[in-house]
Amino acid sequence: MPLTFIALDEGQLVGTVGLWLCDLQSRQDLSPWLAALYIDENYRDRGLGKALQQHVLTYSRHAGFSSLYLYATFSGYYEKMGWHYIGDGLEYPAKPVRLYHQALV
């Protein structure tokens, strides 16, 4: 790791998501992380973000991980995807972020 998974539409890159050992320097005690989820604006609201998250969750289970974490600067989206808010953290240098967890077992 790190791993990056990509979504293509007829050869065009339309989305990415990562599986990283660490994505938040202030919380190196948590690992691994779903990271860098991005969907091209023209492909949003089609379920692609959910599909990419599901791919990382499935991959992580098969890799033997029991938990997965992520952070976001906003709320609402990840809760709808089954993630559980576990508290706040800091992104460098001092930007507040929300921490999320999902059990894989």
Q: Is the pLDDT of residue 17 over 90?
A: yes
State the CATH class of domain 3-103. alpha beta
Would you kindly state where each structural domain of the chain is located, as residue ranges? 3-103
How far is C-alpha 77 from the geometric centre of its chain's CA atoms?
Answer: 11
What is the per-residue pLDDT for 105?
Answer: 87
Answer whether residue 1 shows pLDDT above 90. no
pTM > 0.85: yes
Contacts 24+ apart (CB under 8 A), 56-64: 56/5, 56/17, 56/18, 56/19, 57/102, 57/104, 59/3, 59/5, 59/19, 60/19, 60/32, 60/104, 61/104, 61/105
**Residue 94: how many CA atoms within 13 Å on its side-chain side?**
0
Mean pLDDT for the chain? Answer: 96
